[in-house]
């Protein structure tokens, strides 16, 4: 790479340029959202072990027991007598009742703003081990936006 950017024009060329059009699976068509079972089986979630991290039940985790924050709905000024308007409650999907993931009180969490600090010990007490009903749902493909 030339040190003078004025002489670098054309030095780095794309050896594999993209040629349109995009395939159907890349734009939400046939084959989109399909995850091969071999991939899902090879990479289960959550993982059974994490290299160099010890027992997974002793790692800090979170629990879905918090209240999900929502934005307040807009307010409307009604101009006609007897007219009504509902702006909802700030949550689009009433079937989505999962709680916000929050810290477990008996776990110690690493400071995300401190780089190579040693972790607190122990990270979690045995009582804070994740319960089966708190295990995250496996990843799923969602439909493309309409």
- Tell me: the pLDDT tens digits for 65-87? 998 888 888 777 777 776 777 77
Cβ burial of 62 (10 Å; 0-12, 13-18, 19+) is middle
Residue 127 CA: distances (Å) to CA of 69, 107, 131:
28, 9, 10
Tokens standing for residue 33: 């959202």
The residues, any chain, with a CB within 8 Å of residue 141's CB and separated by 6 or more, are 33, 34, 35
Radius of gyration of the chain (CA): 25
Q: 102, 62 in Cβ contact below 8 A?
A: yes
100-143 pLDDT, tens digit per residue, is 999 988 888 887 787 777 777 777 775 554 444 455 666 777 77
What pTM does this model have?
0.46
pLDDT classification of 46: cutoffs 50, 70, 90: confident
Residue of 130, 107, 101, 134 whose CA lies nearest to 120: 107
């Amino acid at each position: 790479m030339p040190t003078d950017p004025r002489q670098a024009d054309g030095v780095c060329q794309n050896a594999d340029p993209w040629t349109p059009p995009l395939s159907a699976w890349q734009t939400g068509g046939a084959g989109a959202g399909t995850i091969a079972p071999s991939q899902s089986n090879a990479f289960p979630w959550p993982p059974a072990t994490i290299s160099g991290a010890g027992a997974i039940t002793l790692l800090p985790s979170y629990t879905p027991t918090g209240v999900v924050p929502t934005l307040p709905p807009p307010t409307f000024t009604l101009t006609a007598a007897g007219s009504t308007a509902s702006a909802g409650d700030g949550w689009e999907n009433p079937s989505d009742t999962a709680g916000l993931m929050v810290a477990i009180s008996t776990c110690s969490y690493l400071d995300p703003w401190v780089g190579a600090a040693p972790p607190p010990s122990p990270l979690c007490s045995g009582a804070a081990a994740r319960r089966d009903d708190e295990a995250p749902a496996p990843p799923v493909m969602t439909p493309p936006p309409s």
